[in-house]
Amino acid sequence: MTKPVWRPAAEAGAWKGVEVLHYKAEGSAAFKGVTRRVLFDDPELACQVRYFEVQAGGYSTLERHEHLHAVMVLRGRGRCLVGDGLYELRPHDLVSVPAMAWHQFQATPEEPLGFLCLVNTERDRPILPTSDDLACLRRDERIAAFIKF
Ligand code: MN
């Protein structure tokens, strides 16, 4: 049996003993002002729970992949694209990202957006949009106005 872990919250979105990590390698994909924390990562669970924080005006990478995301907003305000849907995000909202759905999370210009994201430990690498994919996404003017790439 693995040892239990107790990590008290230092404040909203911060936990004692949980390191603040880079979201992705700088320059590997387009994103702005995102940090990552791995909260749970136990091989026996075969999944990870991460906490992402997007600073005000920031955004995650526009991407898609075979693995799923299960997301719960913990703090702040923002919006997301999932597939061809755009959704407002507030604390405690839930969003799932299906396989191969384009997705991007954005904080509002005024407030950061912090959310939990559950993924399988073993997962495929994200795919970035090609210029054809972007052209396709931009056919929907609401999506064209939203996406940052
Ligand atoms: Mn993703």
96-129: pLDDT as tens digits: 999 999 999 999 999 999 999 999 999 999 999 9
Whether 117 sits among the annotated catalytic residues: the reply is yes
Q: Is domain 23-146 annotated with CATH 2.60.120.10?
A: yes
State the distance from the centre of ligand 1 to the C-alpha of 9, rounded, in angstroms: 25
CA–CA separation, 75 vs 63, rounded Å? 23
State the distance from the centre of ligand 1 to the C-alpha of 130, rounded, in angstroms: 16
* Mean pLDDT, residues 48-64 taken together: 98
State the distance from the centre of ligand 1 to the C-alpha of 49, rounded, in angstroms: 13
Cα-only R_g, the chain:
15
State the distance from the centre of ligand 1 to the C-alpha of 60, rounded, in angstroms: 9
Give the up-direction half-sphere exposure of residue 143: CA atoms within 13 A in the CB hemisphere: 17
* Mean pLDDT, residues 53-80 taken together: 98
Task: Report domain extents, the chain.
Answer: 23-146
